[in-house]
């Protein structure tokens, strides 16, 4: 199998699994209990919080553990909206956000909040001028992703943070695709809130975190016990938190190597595909994109049929977000950047990691050629 769908999920590293095992076996005590094994687990969770905080230039007390990116995104939108509604009920986001953001915004609209959905250019980047023109006196939050999960485009996050601060708005960035792939410092970016998910950087599924700058007003999303300093109820998943912290540490240590390697491999892949296969177009920004992300729309084919043929040859790729698999509608991201519905349905997303070799990509490209030719001739 050649796995080329790392934007959907990544394989947990061996060190991550080994770090988790003791907390799935003998060290299973509930961290909220008062006896020694439980207190030790609470101490370990504190160390993991410190590890995560250091990777983004934050303080330990600004990190809250969640079940993943979707929970973190929902918490930001609903928690900030409800905590700050006396200041205003206007929120700004984009048309190309993950559905965790978009559907949370639709929910808030039903509660009377007003949402502005910014468009993008053909590369998937917002206009900073349009953003600034959209801010109102009652704007309480700007939520714009750091990197798009379908086309890999990077947004001008630092500039967005600057604009938000100048206008007195809170700024949240969904960094699920960027965290662990590119350097992040929340103070440099001007982010007040940031969400991330462990399984996107070789950690376990079902675990993530939310950075909340000290002083930001936000209501809890999940009510119950007093875990996470009374801000996020539920027994802590010690094993997953340990695994996420180990994955974060490893990602930080190997980041510069991976950026160089994946960028070279990505450019090699895109270059060969465009030279050797007619009717293929890159989606997303050619340079300002995630290192391991290559995405295309292909004339004369249907994306899901292509994926079936690739799968038959042992290649795992995708047509877009894994969260919308089975949806017959064209990708909202591809439609937002200007593709017609039929063009968007011919999409292909390839996301590599440091384990993918040139030999793997050569095999993929040859199978891709054969598969596209087969579909176009059928």
With b for 16 or more beta-carbon neighbours within 10 A and e for fewer, the 340-374 pattern comes to: eeebbbbbbbbbbbbebeeebbeebbebbeebbee
Q: Which of 199, 153, 220 is nearest to 13 (CA)?
A: 199
- Residue 140 has phi, psi (to 5 degrees) of -110, -20
Would you call 169 a catalytic residue per the annotation? no
Other Cβ atoms within 10 Å of 140 Cβ, number: 22
Q: Are strands 139-143 and 114-118 parallel, antiparallel or unpaired?
A: unpaired
Q: Which two tokens stand for residue 321?
A: 């977000």
Q: Give 251's contacts (C-beta < 8 A, 6+ positions apart).
A: 55, 180, 181, 201, 202
Selecting among 207, 219, 316, 323, the annotated active-site residue is 323
Q: How far apart (Å, rounded) are the C-alpha atoms in residues 121 and 127?
A: 8
Q: How far apart (Å, rounded) are the C-alpha atoms in residues 280 and 294?
A: 12
Q: How far apart (Å, rounded) are the C-alpha atoms in residues 252 and 57?
A: 12
Other Cβ atoms within 10 Å of 39 Cβ, number: 13
Question: Burial, 179: exposed, middle or buried (Cβ in 10 Å; 0-12, 13-18, 19+)?
Answer: buried
Annotated catalytic residues are 323
């Amino acid at each position: 199998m050649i796995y080329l769908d790392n934007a959907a999920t990544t394989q947990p590293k061996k060190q991550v699994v080994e770090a988790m095992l003791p907390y799935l076996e003998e060290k299973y005590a509930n961290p909220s209990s008062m006896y020694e094994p439980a207190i030790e687990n609470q101490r370990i969770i504190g160390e993991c919080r410190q590890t995560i905080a250091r990777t983004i230039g934050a303080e330990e007390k600004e990190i809250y553990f969640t079940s993943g990116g979707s929970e973190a995104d929902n918490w930001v939108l609903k928690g900030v909206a409800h905590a700050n509604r006396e200041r205003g009920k206007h929120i700004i986001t984009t048309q190309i956000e993950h559905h965790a953001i978009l559907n949370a915004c639709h929910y808030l609209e039903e509660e009377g909040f007003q949402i502005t959905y910014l468009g993008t250019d053909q590369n998937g980047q917002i206009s900073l001028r349009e953003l600034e023109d959209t801010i109102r006196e009652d704007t309480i939050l700007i939520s714009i992703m750091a990197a798009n999960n379908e086309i890999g485009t990077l947004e001008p996050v630092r500039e967005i943070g600057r604009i938000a601060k100048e206008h007195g708005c809170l700024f949240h960035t969904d960094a699920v695709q960027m965290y662990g792939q590119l350097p992040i410092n929340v103070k440099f970016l001007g982010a007040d809130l940031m969400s991330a998910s462990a399984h996107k950087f070789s950690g376990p599924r079902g675990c993530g975190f939310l950075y909340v700058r000290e002083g930001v007003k936000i209501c809890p999303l999940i009510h119950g016990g007093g875990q996470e300093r009374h801000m996020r109820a539920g027994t802590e998943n010690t094993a997953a938190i340990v695994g996420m912290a180990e994955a974060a540490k490893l990602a930080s240590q190997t980041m510069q190597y991976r950026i160089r390697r994946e960028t070279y491999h990505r450019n090699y892949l895109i270059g060969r595909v465009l030279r050797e296969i007619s009717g293929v177009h890159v989606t997303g920004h050619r340079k300002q994109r995630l290192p391991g992300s290559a995405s295309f729309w292909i004339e004369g084919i249907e994306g899901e049929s292509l994926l079936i043929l690739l799968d038959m040859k042992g290649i795992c790729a995708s047509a877009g977000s894994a969260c919308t698999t089975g949806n017959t509608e064209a990708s909202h991201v591809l439609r937002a950047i200007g593709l017609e519905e039929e063009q968007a349905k011919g999409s292909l997303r390839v996301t590599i990691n440091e384990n993918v070799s040139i030999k793997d990509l050569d095999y993929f490209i040859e199978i891709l050629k054969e598969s596209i030719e087969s579909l176009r001739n059928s």
